[in-house]
Amino acid sequence: MGSLAAEAVGIMDPENPTKLETEAVHLSDGGSARNHLPNRVFVNRSLNLENIKCYGFDMDYTLAIYKSPEYEALGFELLRDRLVSIGYPHELLRYDYDPEFPTRGLVYDTMYGNLLKVDSHGNILVCTHGFSHLKGDDIHNYYPNLFIQRDDTERFYILNTLFNLSETYLYACLVDFFTSCTRYKNCTQGFQHGDLFMSFRSMFQDVRDAMDYVHDSGSLKDRTIKALEMYVVKDPRIPVLLSRVKEVAKVFLATNSDYSYTDAIMKYLLEVPASVKSGAPKRAWRSFFDLVVVDTRKPLFFGEGTVLRQVDTLTGKLRMGTYTGDLQHGTIYSGGSSDVVCDLLDVRGKEILYVGDHIFTDILKSKKRQGWRTFLVAPDLIKELQVWTDKRYLFEELKGLDVYLAEFYKHLDSGSHERPDISAIQTRMKMVTEREREREREGEMSMSNRLMCCKW
């Protein structure tokens, strides 16, 4: 859970589902959960859960958490193989997914083939060309102002979902391969091979088409279903959470996935014996929800939506015509819109709390267009929080030096002619950061030595 949410809330107290905690205890079996980073919830504003009459959940990366890096490696393999199948060099098959390189939120420059990390204003923080990290003048050559127009979506593509991680790494692999391959001549906006010019733009389009193929063809879903234990985290707390929420409010599932895939994932996560000792029968996963909607096509779902149809759960096919009746419990619906969900469940705007992982598709759209309360699941922030916790002493020291530096300029104005000597503070700041870098290098060397010992 992360502070990037448009509006995040604390999780409910298992003993009192209407109580809001600013620092939450997960549905865990130990009292240490409160201080464990993955189980903490960050609140941007207070919210009285007694006013929430309905809870909605996305499925992918929300209820269904995919194992990392196994799932990203699978996605990368399918994307890479697809490119090779349409004519890209077979040498690309030598690349394997490295989870240490990509991160969510990078920007791909379709003109120059660079991956950029930028702040909310478009200022460039990090720039890579393939796997080469560019510095100083090299970055200035591409971006003289060290700045990009993030709203130029024709040129810059934001890789802002967890599904994009494998795609992000593939862009780096392609640039790395063509840059180092002697058969291709490096050009500013691509690569030349005889009469063939491979632009970064066309490369981007090929990867995007491959991404669509992997998802639309069902190859990623098929591989996932065949090895659920390998790719999907089975958390026994999920059915407990949904059961407790359903005792005090209505619950719905709204996912972009189709029925067959949703059915397989939800059975794996939710259909467990009620009691191992008593041998009680499994509870059907659909009974955890008052309403289930698949094929939602978010963010279109939060706008005009699509035709609402019923799903034949025996065949997986959609029934003819638009469904216009009342809510039928146990029925699976396809398409529709957020307005339809509100009508079927008889709830409105701020009475709904929606939980999702995509800050644009799930969080911003549902809040701005419908006024829903929102809860963002951001598992990739766990690592950042761990860094902040582990290195807090470093940040505090730098903060203290920054305050001390401000004191030198505190009483200066336009009439001041003497420039304060801040060299000692600058030297100290440099020493602090260099000391930390040295510790990191020593740690990497130590790990390398241990790996060598293991090999021998």
* Catalytically active residues, by annotation: 58, 60
Nearest CA among 4, 43, 52, 44 for reference residue 21? 43
Residue 422 is which amino acid?
I
Surface-to-core class of residue 432, CB atoms within 10 Å of its CB (0-12 exposed, 13-18 middle, 19+ buried): middle
Query: Per this entry, what is the length of the chain?
Result: 456
**What letter does residue 147 receive in the DSSP assignment?**
B
Give, in degrees to the nearest 5, the angle at Cα 151 between 146 and 157: 80
Paired strand residues for 192: 185, 197
Tokens coding 169: 């790494």
Sign of the alpha-carbon torsion through 253, 254, 258, 259: positive
d(CA 218, CA 258): 10
Nearest to 52 by CA among 86, 10, 83, 15: 10
Nearest to 273 by CA among 263, 262, 288, 284: 284
The Cα–Cα gap between 417 and 409 comes to 12
Could you count the other beta carbons within 10 Å of the beta carbon of residue 157?
A: 18
Which helix or strand (DSSP H or E) is residue 113 part of?
Answer: none
- Pull the structure tokens for residue 232: 């999907």
* DSSP-derived secondary structure for 7-31: S--PPEETTEEEEE-SSPPPS-SSG
Closest listed residue to residue 172, CA positions, set 118, 96, 119: 96
For 193, list phi and psi in degrees, rounded to 5. -140, 95
DSSP for 401-433 reads HHHHHHHHHTT--TT--PPP--HHHHHHHHHHH
Residue 378 structure tokens = 């951001």
Structure tokens at 182: 């002697």
For residue 98, CA distances in Å to 101, 162, 196, 395 come to 6, 15, 30, 29
